[in-house]
Structure 1
Amino acid sequence: MAEIQRGILDKLKAWKENPRRKPLVLQGARQVGKSWALKKFGRESFEDMVYINFDTMPAMKEDFKRTKEPLKLIKLMELMTGKKISPTSTLIVLDEIQECNEALNSLKYFCEDAPEYAVACAGSLLGVALNRTGASFPVGKVDFMTLYPVSFAEYLRAADAQLYHSYQMIDEVMAVPEVLHQQLIDAYKLYLVLGGMPEAVSVYIDTRSWAEVKVVQDAILQSYSLDFAKHISNKDIPRVFQVWGNLQNQLAREDKKFRYADIQKGARAREYEGAIEWLCLAGLVHRVSAIGTPCLPLSAYKKDNAFKLYLNDVGLLGRKFDLDATTILMGDNLFTEFKGVMAENYVLQALVRQYGSQHYYWTSGNTAEVEFLLQDTGKIIPIEVKADKNVTAKSLAYYRKQYLPKLSIRLSALNMRKDDDLLNLPLYLVDKLKMFVGNFELNE
């Protein structure tokens, strides 16, 4: 299968070289490529690698229950794998570590008593597991990274090296040559269908078959549902299924605000908040909270009872909508109804990769709404998302008139330009948004 060069590998190599490194916890949703990344990192950056999977090697759980001493654990892993573990040349990978709380807790002792050993762990539901372990987890004794679905830039690098090279050269606020602009718009539209789940991307690059991509995406959605039954208490399973099964209906509405009553008549927040929190911790959905008054810090002004829920991957959202690939690529009437939310989901994924998991949107009752508010170096930046070339909506103009931001951003299918404090970026450049914001601040 086609191999995708992931940016996480550079971060992993930097972690290895850091003299103050701690055991690494790699978080991320199921099937975003965590195991692949750690194994590739081990092959490329170390002489050898010891790989322990607590799901397929359950006997190792008993060994971690018997002792927390790193040297004893290393000896047990050597006996189990038949490999000598060197502190300078061996990577220890503990996969599906959420299946063994004792292994999670042992990271404290690796940090304190054996920091010379390179230990990296991963798991599909680590966010849930870390929340569950609470005080017993070695807070402050580990380094964290998060792996997300394949970005648009990573997809482009794997699918079209020449187009990716041209894309990488775009680093100034100036119109992109029209031929290149159209090629990148076409690639962006394709990515909306494909999304960023690594197997789906690899299958498409190898086969160009949308039917095979659909099979992969459906299997991933099914694996998520199986996790609900396996890892959630019986009393909470129905509510998680209800929220998960209703997400596309919530996003299909014009305002997209999450409404409990749409799940079940008479439903209340306290009944479903745990289910929503589980989906967020599992990395399957992203919550975007409403802000009425845009003041710093945004987290202090969010409305707890007003939010939107987006999926972790735009391709999976398209499958939940049951959109056909040609529907999106040809832009027919059916896709017209959904392209706004697809563009928003795509943009949010890029914002999460660059700025973390806390995101907000601005609303002024029924008057106006701006899709995202970004907090960056002491400034609040409104971000408007338009799925095509029609940018005549009044919400961003209303926000700018009310709050006079130093920088506003509009993402659309139009070419790049800057009008005073309004930066118009093509949607395909959202992976570079942080760079453009930084360049704007340097030129202030």
Structure 2
Amino acid sequence: PESVKMWTEARDVSAMQEALSGIIGAYERDFAKHPNISEFPKISMIWKSIPSQLARENKKFIYKVVKEGARAREYEDALQWLVDARLVHKIYRSSAPGLPVAAYDDLSAFKLYLVDVGLLRRLAQLAPTAFGEGNRLFTEYKGALTENYVLQTLITQFEVLPRYWSQNNPPYEVDFLIQRDNDIFPVEVKSEANLASKSLRKFKELFSDNVKLRVRFSLDNLKLDDDVLNIPLFMADQADRLIGLALKQLNP
């Protein structure tokens, strides 16, 4: 893509920013060009609300964040247009790691991620330096950017769209569930140095018969600790191969 080329070949931050803005502008012009014109304002509002949706600690999509008083039935067609156009990924909450995964979808609970993490950063109007700012600027949003990045890599490696799992009282949440062959693996994404994985532990406690391996993406090194495979973020696009190697080591 042009934005990547501007950085990898020219190291021109301004040109990269301009290219990303151009892509976002082209998408937003499509909102008025292709769907029913009556859906244009709703599509635009959903699109522009995504950074706000992901900035929340609980990243579950809330229609009232789009517009005060908004209801699902009023906006679901506009949302589906964005999904069908592959500009956003709609990740459903799963009630359990069962097959087929769609049978366990909670259709009332889902998260929206952008098709590209660079576009998400630009849409959120964060400077490129935000990735290196640590916690000075933001904590929760760094997690959102990291999750969006990992999701991008998972979608290209696994046939079934990932889900996520959560429960309340007390609250636990596993960022993604991925299906590899006929197995489902819980995935946690860490953008901080803290690698505590309470939700992964709880998931195994609840679904011990279904969990062959737990996966964590983080800044730490590649390692297999009991049944937890830690994958460095820069190796996220090798997840399928690394999970296969870990399973062979656990079950020689």
Could you tell me the TM-score, scaled by structure 1's length?
0.54
TM-score (norm 2): 0.94
Aligned length in residues: 247
User: Equivalent residue for 2:92?
Assistant: 289
- What is the rounded CA distance, in whole Å, between the counterparts of 2:233 and 2:9 in structure 1? 26
Determine the structure 2 residue equivalent to 1:225: 28
Alpha-carbon separation, structure 2, partners of 1:256 and 1:332: 19
For 1:305 and 1:324, locate their aligned partners in 2 and report how far apart those are by CA, in whole Å.
Answer: 34
**Corresponding residue for residue 274 of structure 1:** 77
Choose the corresponding residue for 1:338, options 133, 138, 141: 141
Structure with more contact order per residue of length (Cα contacts < 8 Å, sep ≥ 6) = 1
Q: 1:356–1:222: structure 2 CA closer, same or farther, 3 Å change rule?
A: farther
2:17 is the counterpart of 1:203: no
| Equivalent-residue separation in structure 1 for 2:143 and 2:31 (angstroms) | 29
User: Contact (CA 8 Å) 2:56, 2:140: kept in 1 or not?
Assistant: no
State how 1:340-355 maps to structure 2 within 5 Å: 340-355=143-158
TM-fit CA distance, 1:255: 0.8
- Which of 231, 235, 242 does residue 38 from structure 2 map onto? 235
In the alignment, is the contact (CA less than 8 A) between 2:224 and 2:246 conserved in 1?
no
Displacement, 1:314?
A: 0.2
The answer (yes or no) to whether the contact 1:328–1:335 under 8 Å persists in 2 is: no
| Counterpart for residue 181 of structure 2 | 377
Q: Which residue in 2 is equivalent to 1:262?
A: 65
* Offset from partner CA, 1:272-329 (integer Å, 9 cap, x none): 1111111111110001100122222211000111000000000010011111122322
Deviations 1:192-239 (A, max 9, x none): xxxxxx111111122212111111101110000010111011111111
Counterpart in 1 of 2:224? 418
Identity of aligned residues (%): 41
Q: Residues 335 and 208 of structure 1: is their aligned pair in 2 closer, same or farther, counting only changes over 3 Å? A: farther
Structure 1 CA distance, aligned partners of 2:48 and 2:139? Answer: 22
Q: Using the alignment, how far apart are the partners of 1:277 and 1:318 within structure 2?
A: 23
8 Å contact kept, 2:229–2:243: no
2:87 and 2:11 mapped to 1: Cα distance?
A: 26
The alignment status of 1:438 with 2:238, answered yes or no, reads no
CA distance in structure 2 between the partners assigned to 1:361 and 1:254 by the alignment: 15
Deviations, residues 101-134 of structure 1 (Å, cap 9, x unaligned): xxxxxxxxxxxxxxxxxxxxxxxxxxxxxxxxxx
> What corresponds to 1:401 in structure 2?
205
Q: Distance in 2 between matches of 1:288 and 1:320?
A: 20
Q: Which runs of 5+ in 2 are unaligned?
A: none
**1:300: which partner in 2?**
103
User: Aligned ranges for residues 310-325 of structure 1 at < 5 Å?
Assistant: 310-325=113-128
CA contact 1:410–1:425 (8 Å) conserved in 2: yes
What is the alpha-carbon root mean square deviation over aligned residues? 1.4
Match of 2:172 in 1: 368
